Amino acid sequence: MDDKERTARLWVAIFHVAIATWVGCTPARILSVIRPAEVSLEGISTLAVLKLDGPFGEIVRGHIYNRLAEVQHFRSIDISQLHALENVTYGQVDNAMFFPALKELEADGVITGGVTAAVHDIHGADQVQVTEGTGHYKKEKNVSGEWVDVEIKRTVVRPVPYTIRQVALDTEYNLFDVRTKRVIATGVLKETYDEKFGGDKECGPFGHRLSDLPTPNGTVDELAARLATKLVAKISRMKLARMIKLDEGGNRMVKRGTELAKAGLWEEAVEIWRQVIHDEPGNAAAYYNLGVAYEGLGDMKSLRMAGELYKRAASLGYKKLYREAAARIQRVSRQSHND
């Protein structure tokens, strides 16, 4: 081994130790994380959601379970009876001391994470033109032609209070494969909220009255539901990524969408395929790939949408791939109806 190779290996070792120190573990316990392109969830059908760190963790966790209950290819497992897993925090799931409890759970995979939220209300007042009565009346004919007293109105400028609600909700998550004892997916999801209630919005046709301002927890709950939908969508689409083939034909934009989808960037891919359909209503590949994106969400509403998109693709391009996809959705729908 020459000096250059020794130096290179030394720097690699130092890098590993530094990373281990940064995450608070020894080099032997560095998590084995698979790159997105290598992720496969084909064998994961049962999922449990462990305690999510943070004061709003339970709100997000509850919404994740609710969303999982709607997905056809996952079955969620309740951990409430396994007290040994109650205190597992984000980043600890790979600790060998929890492996017996995880095995008892009989889940293929578990989701762990941490939730942070910042809620900020800004209070103020807008100078708004309002119409008010003067206490003086005049005679006018009504729609029936009768003379009636009508109060004289005037327009004045008055301060109308408002509240601007700003919320940022972040969720870091890991998907841990219990069978291989490896983290197979990790990421951060964000949702924000910025709405004005009252002020110049008080009297507008599309505004929010100050009386409509929800509680801070109510706003966080709304964002938690959005986060849960995004998280389960990511996991669900990862499961189908190796099982359902995308159509890489069509045009350059369709191919760009398939590249993004394979990299896990499904939302960006969906926007591209929708634009292709808008520009080229006869592009069968775009309809089909958009159907795959909906099928990946897994709930019955999305599956029905996928079925319609597959049928549309098959009507435009008579490919075996499209026909098989449409038939697959029909089978799932029948099975769900029978269940």
Where b means 16+ CB within 10 Å and e means fewer, 154-171 reads eeeeeebebbbbebebbb
Specify if 189 maps to a domain.
yes
| Least confident piece of the model among 3-12, 195-204, 220-229, 314-323 | 3-12
CATH value at residue 44: 3.40.50
Residue 158 β-bridge partners: 128
- Counting the structural domains of the chain, the total is 3
**Predicted local distance difference test score (pLDDT) of residue 270:** 94
Specify if 253 maps to a domain.
yes
User: Do the beta carbons of residue 149 and residue 101 sit within 8 Å?
Assistant: no
Residue 325 pLDDT > 80, yes or no? yes
Q: Are 103 and 182 part of one and the same domain?
A: yes
Q: Are 131 and 100 part of one and the same domain?
A: no
Q: Which of 213, 238, 263 is the last residue of a domain?
A: 238
Print the domain residue range for 203: 27-116+172-238
Residue 39 pLDDT > 70, yes or no? no
pLDDT digits (tens, 9 = 90+) for 263-273: 888 999 999 99
Residue 47's pLDDT band, with cuts at 50, 70 and 90, is very high
Q: Are 111 and 124 part of one and the same domain?
A: no
Specify if 77 maps to a domain.
yes
Q: Are 149 and 253 part of one and the same domain?
A: no
Q: Which of 238, 266, 282 is the last residue of a domain?
A: 238
User: Do the beta carbons of residue 260 and residue 274 sit within 8 Å?
Assistant: no
Specify if 186 maps to a domain.
yes
**Predicted local distance difference test score (pLDDT) of residue 32:** 37
Residue 33's pLDDT band, with cuts at 50, 70 and 90, is very low
Task: Write down how long the chain is.
Answer: 339
What's the sign of the alpha-carbon dihedral 125, 129, 135, 140? negative
Q: Which of 209, 238, 267 is the last residue of a domain?
A: 238
Q: Are 186 and 271 part of one and the same domain?
A: no
The mean per-residue pLDDT over the stretch 282-311 comes to 92
Q: Are 201 and 104 part of one and the same domain?
A: yes
Specify if 6 maps to a domain.
no
Q: Are 301 and 255 part of one and the same domain?
A: yes
Residue 94's pLDDT band, with cuts at 50, 70 and 90, is confident
User: Do the beta carbons of residue 165 and residue 194 sit within 8 Å?
Assistant: yes
Specify if 12 maps to a domain.
no
Which residue has better confidence, 120 or 22?
A: 120
Q: Are 97 and 176 part of one and the same domain?
A: yes
CB proximity list for 202: less than 8 A, separation 6 or greater: 128, 160, 162, 209, 210
Alpha helices in the chain (DSSP H): 3-22, 57-68, 99-105, 216-241, 252-262, 266-279, 284-297, 300-316, 320-338
Q: Are 41 and 96 part of one and the same domain?
A: yes
What does the mean pLDDT of the chain come to?
Answer: 83
Provide the Cα torsion 53, 58, 59, 61; round to 10°.
Answer: 90
The two tokens of residue 202 are 């008080």
Overall pTM surpassing 0.85 (yes/no): no
Q: Are 201 and 85 part of one and the same domain?
A: yes
Q: Are 106 and 158 part of one and the same domain?
A: no
pLDDT digits (tens, 9 = 90+) for 110-143: 999 999 999 999 999 999 887 888 889 998 988 8
Residue 37 pLDDT > 50, yes or no? no
User: Do the beta carbons of residue 93 and residue 172 sit within 8 Å?
Assistant: no
User: Do the beta carbons of residue 314 and residue 322 sit within 8 Å?
Assistant: yes
Residue 11 pLDDT > 60, yes or no? no
pLDDT digits (tens, 9 = 90+) for 171-188: 999 998 888 888 888 889
Specify if 8 maps to a domain.
no
| Least confident piece of the model among 289-293, 322-326, 331-335 | 331-335
Q: Are 95 and 70 part of one and the same domain?
A: yes
Which residue, among 264, 273, 261, 257, has the nearest Cα to 235 in the 3D structure? 264
Specify if 176 maps to a domain.
yes
